[in-house]
Amino acid sequence: VLDYGTGYFNGDANSAVYRIEYVTDGRAPLAKATANRTSGQAPLAVAFSSAGTSDPDGDPLTYAWKFGDGATSTAANPSHTYTANGRYTAELTVSDGTGNTATASVVITVGNTAPTVTLNLPADGSIIDPGAAVPFTVTVTDPEDGTIDCSKVKVTFIIGHDSHGHPQTSATGCSGTVQTIADGEHDPNANIFGVWDAEYTDKGANGQPALTTHDQNVSQGSKRQAE
């Protein structure tokens, strides 16, 4: 099963591919791995979390972390400091004691810091009807890039429908206007809203690859059906 998560075309952390199995001798646990930071300069101290990990049969779990640089831990929520530049895959394996295991991973980039992107306008919760010309402003900072090339900033208008979206129009710049398109594909009573996605990809640094950050706001139309 392919789960797109709750984001809209921005690599949502909840997106995943799931395998469905029919078993008679116990089910495999579900593993989830996250980190409080996924990029930065060395030495980079990272706090890892297994929050959300569970076992559908209620079996007690054991944890085994590999941080990608040779270090390991058996704590459920360990901390680790990366001392050398590189791109590391930290992997969590959980076992339920009956032979069933599950894995999850998170990528850590040391030597390049992901940019910070803030979509100032349109503000979250704005009332905007499709077909309007909508001004936008975006603030981007990146410690390695320094001065931001605004031509690399992109703002996309997405028609949101329930838990998915349809990209419509986009524009580049730290400020400007996006001309939206009137929606003619959905029933007027459908759960329709606007998603505004701002993104910026940095230049990379210290031999490490470029990193992309998104920021999103949601707008609503002026007419909504209530029951």
Contact 154, 198 (CB under 8 A): yes
Mean pLDDT taken over the chain: 91
- pLDDT (tens digit per residue) in 61-92: 999 999 999 999 999 999 999 999 999 999 99
pLDDT of residue 166: 84
> Does residue 1 or residue 192 have the better pLDDT?
192
- Token readout for 99 is 């032979």
Q: What is the set of domains in the chain, with CATH numbers?
A: 27-110 (2.60.40.10), 116-219 (2.60.40)
Which range, of 1-5, 108-112, 162-166, averages the lowest pLDDT?
1-5
Q: Is 66 helix (H, G, I), strand (E, B) or coil?
A: strand
Residue type, 207: G
pLDDT of residue 222: 82
pLDDT over 50 at 169, yes or no: yes
Closest CA to 48 of 8, 14, 84, 92: 92
Q: Residue 170, Cβ neighbours under 10 Å: how many? A: 14
**Cα separation values, 191 from 10, 33, 160, 213, Å:** 21, 32, 8, 27
pLDDT of residue 184: 58
For residue 161, the cross-strand partners are: 164, 192
pLDDT over 70 at 97, yes or no: yes
pLDDT of residue 24: 61
Q: How far apart are CA 167 and CA 98, in angstroms?
A: 46
- Give me the sign of the Cα torsion angle 31, 20, 107, 151: negative
Contact 114, 202 (CB under 8 A): yes
Which DSSP symbol is given to 27?
Answer: P
State the pTM of this model: 0.82
Residue with tokens 């992109």: 154
The most distant pair of C-alpha atoms in the chain lies apart, rounded to whole Å, by: 59
Closest CA to 196 of 169, 223, 161, 175: 169
